[in-house]
Structure 1
Amino acid sequence: MNQDETARRERIARDAILSSLGQESGEYGATLFATHHLAELDEAYWQEHAQAGSPEPRRVLEILELKSSADDEEEGLDQLDFGLPGGVSDYVLCVSFDEEGEVDDISMES
């Protein structure tokens, strides 16, 4: 998989994450990830990384960093994992892609 396709999928994944916030489809993915971490991490962390002591869930998702990608040689890039900066959590937001390169699922995983 080339860098252009990886960058394209990262953009698609980030858009899908933000779009799913507050939606039923985000109940076990983006929404859960944001609300869980807002409750677990202290104000100092959020102030440093989100420039707010108690950011909105959307802001939590905007600061996510790409942590890893799964690239199947036969099928191509099929998963991107996003996490919070600073390694403060074992949880990632996993975005899976279908055969056409579109988002298939967003889930919080450890």
Structure 2
Amino acid sequence: MSNDEYETTAREAIKSLIGKPEGEDNVTLFLEHHLAELEPEYFSSTYGSTTPEATQIVDSLVFVHSWSSEDDGTVDVFDFSLPGSVTDYLLSVRFSGDEVKEISMES
């Protein structure tokens, strides 16, 4: 897979966890944390609402960087965050081959 394909797959995997028990410790935590901690003005100016839908936020995540978690140099981790450099937190998507292995909230 190309990096663009990995990025697309990572975004789809993040979106698929919205509202699911498997997403509680990563995607849901990321969303709830930022909705509670960031000023309402950020959400209003970015999304047109002080309480945007989870899908709006996930759809707007910006690609931050990709990197290799192993010594072999194969890029297998793709990191995403909110637009506007308003947080140090990331949603990090780790691959094993072409499959998503794990999604975690990192700082």
Match of 1:86 among 59, 84, 87: 84
- Supply the distance in 2 between the matched residues of 1:66 and 1:106 (Cα, whole angstroms): 14
What displacement does 1:52 show? 1.6
Counterpart in 1 of 2:63? 66
Identical counterparts, % of pairs: 40
Q: Which consecutive unaligned segments of at least 5 residues does structure 1 have? A: none
More helix by share: 1
> Unaligned 5+ residue runs, structure 2?
none
The 2-side partners of 1:7 and 1:92 are apart by 18
Q: Does 1:95 align with 2:96?
A: no
Q: Could you state the TM-score of these two structures normalised by the residue count of structure 1?
A: 0.88
The residue aligned with 1:22 is 19
1:11 alignment partner, SS class: helix
Q: What is the RMSD computed on CA atoms of the aligned residues?
A: 1.6
- For residue 48 of structure 1, what is the amino acid of its counterpart? S
Tell me which residue corresponds to 1:8: 5
Stretches of 4+ moved more than 4 A in 1?
Answer: none
